[in-house]
Chains A and B, each alone.
Chain A
């Protein structure tokens, strides 16, 4: 789709393979929810056909404009990672077009190639189609509850107490030191259809000047957002509105001006999550540049055979920053040290600057992907993290 945050899909001169036109359905059995679809079909394009027939994509990212091929290549996760695992857990078969011919793989047929393609960053060949098991749609609306919290431990406790809520995530205010206030959102299928709150999407028509996202505006926005939602509460909302928050403002990336944005997303294993998140948030609060958005998610067993998948049981934190060049980069290097020290790792899908050493340490099985890589496929990301020799 051309919407990746980092350089996993890019090559020299920022060239990339667009798969938008590979958006046909090959087969669909609406009695079982098994579909085969072109890799370029988006989640939204799939839902335009499947929701009316009672099926929903089991794992969805924050935007409906992600392609199925991209979901496979990054083995993406959603707010329901605890209950359903990552995208690869629901993929039945894949068809790859490689420079040496085509290959169909699954858990049974060529399982190695299958496991390396899930989270394989598109390097094992062009994904032509994806066979996917959809999930039955129990209700077209979600009941969403917002709970305000004031400290990281409160968040962890809330997360613990939300086993009945398949969709969870938290928004954090990173502009104030000390307190870790935020808003915990949890959602589940609405049993009784209620009055649906109206949601509208807007499109940002122009690229904004770069000061649009700066400390005063971020602070003001965070204070306002927290103030408006401080009492929490429950509402019934359409699934798309809860699960695709990024689509509420189309072309939101233009907010960041011409230099764009960088996201830092790290995951910590269960044991070190509390310490790691705390250190990372302290470092973010101490920095001159505040993140414009911070999102926490709990993760369970990925249930995906993906070898290089990002997810593992624990917690992930995503921090959005306006790209301020060297300053932002050196801040990220401070973060890197914390992530590495706590046994965490970065999400390749969002990365555009991770060092080869960090990648190779935190994804120790990377050589298997290098061996299975189609020699005709590479990316700026891969050349950066996998070809450099690390002592």
Chain B
């Protein structure tokens, strides 16, 4: 069997690690892990090698800085070989109060979650066209479906990601070998959400998300809600009239 190559952007994020572990176990996969901290990347590399990954390469750089993306993509290409799948898994969720006070933080949030992601997505799509195939998986959020008080700008960036994935899928719809997938997890217990109160039925583990991702990505789904019930919860939330929604404390 041919070895698949998967590039993970934000490879040390909890959901990315859980996904890579599931993919590594027992299949022929070459990983290219991209992230900010070489030490953290090395830790994930060792873990994936021990779990059976065919090979794991790492590349450290400022993945969320829009002016760094092109250079990083060139370095990934320079590693050689095909790229069958790119998973864009990084993102930040700053505290709401800090965002309302500090506009520099707002600029950073949009740069990391949206602007840099747009550039990655464009570069990947162009590469897939040249290569003749490829699968871009972007991790969005159920928060992108409707904005709410606590996470306004996070919602906006995740909603923007959905439009980018949707538009690229439209542009390349005629090309059967090129697939775009948006994953929308509900609340997940990861370091990104450690400032929030957790517990209760709504929270999932990174591995819960990874399990749903593996199945959906294999199918080539356009949108994956993870876990599945969020599709129907959000269907309901989007359908709420504004007068009702605005009275809810969410």
Q: Does B25 contact A (CB under 8 A)?
A: yes
Give residues 107-143 of B contacting A (CB, 8 Å).
none
List residues of chain A with CB within 8 A of the CB of B52.
49
List residues of chain A with CB within 8 A of the CB of B46.
24-27
Report how many residues on chain B are interfacial, defined by Cβ distance under 8 Å. 12
User: Is B25 a contact partner of A49 (Cβ separation < 8 A)?
Assistant: yes
User: Is A48 a contact partner of B50 (Cβ separation < 8 A)?
Assistant: no
B15 CB to closest chain A CB, in angstroms? Answer: 13
1/0 per residue, CB under 8 A from B, across A183-210: the answer is 0000000000000000000000000000
List residues of chain A with CB within 8 A of the CB of B26.
52
**21 contacts across the A-B interface (CB closer than 8 A):** A21-B14, A24-B17, A24-B43, A24-B44, A25-B46, A25-B47, A25-B50, A25-B51, A26-B46, A26-B47, A26-B50, A27-B46, A27-B50, A28-B50, A28-B51, A35-B50, A49-B25, A49-B50, A49-B51, A49-B52, A52-B26
Give residues 37-51 of A contacting B (CB, 8 Å).
48-49
A42 CB to closest chain B CB, in angstroms? Answer: 11
1/0 per residue, CB under 8 A from A, across B47-68: the answer is 1001110000000000000000
List residues of chain B with CB within 8 A of the CB of A49.
25, 50-52
Chain B residue at minimal CB-CB distance from A28: B50
Chain A residue at minimal CB-CB distance from B44: A24
1/0 per residue, CB under 8 A from B, across A44-69: the answer is 00001100100000000000000000
A149 to B44, CA, bound (A): 51
A49 to B25, CA, bound (A): 7
Chain B residue at minimal CB-CB distance from A29: B50
Chain A residue at minimal CB-CB distance from B25: A49
Chain A interface extent, by class: 10 to 19
List residues of chain B with CB within 8 A of the CB of A35.
50
A61 to B43, CA, bound (A): 28
Q: Which residues of A contact B (CB under 8 A)?
A: 21, 24-28, 35, 48-49, 52
List residues of chain B with CB within 8 A of the CB of A27.
46, 50
Chain B residue at minimal CB-CB distance from A53: B52
User: Is B25 a contact partner of A48 (Cβ separation < 8 A)?
Assistant: yes
List residues of chain A with CB within 8 A of the CB of B44.
24
A325 to B44, CA, bound (A): 46
List residues of chain B with CB within 8 A of the CB of A26.
43, 46-47, 50
A254 to B47, CA, bound (A): 34
A43 CB to closest chain B CB, in angstroms? Answer: 15
A49 to B44, CA, bound (A): 15
User: Is A24 a contact partner of B47 (Cβ separation < 8 A)?
Assistant: yes
List residues of chain A with CB within 8 A of the CB of B17.
24
Chain A residue at minimal CB-CB distance from B47: A24
List residues of chain B with CB within 8 A of the CB of A25.
46-47, 50-51
A68 CB to closest chain B CB, in angstroms? Answer: 14
Chain A residue at minimal CB-CB distance from B45: A24
A21 to B52, CA, bound (A): 20
A117 CB to closest chain B CB, in angstroms? Answer: 22
A24 to B21, CA, bound (A): 10
A52 to B51, CA, bound (A): 11
A13 to B17, CA, bound (A): 32
A24 to B14, CA, bound (A): 11
Chain B residue at minimal CB-CB distance from A36: B50
1/0 per residue, CB under 8 A from A, across B173-215: the answer is 0000000000000000001000000000000000000000000
Chain A residue at minimal CB-CB distance from B51: A49
A388 to B26, CA, bound (A): 53
Q: A21-B14, A24-B46, A26-B46 are in contact. List 18 more A-B contacts (CB 8 A).
A: A21-B191, A24-B17, A24-B43, A24-B44, A25-B46, A25-B50, A25-B51, A26-B43, A26-B47, A27-B46, A27-B50, A28-B50, A28-B51, A35-B50, A48-B25, A49-B50, A49-B51, A49-B52
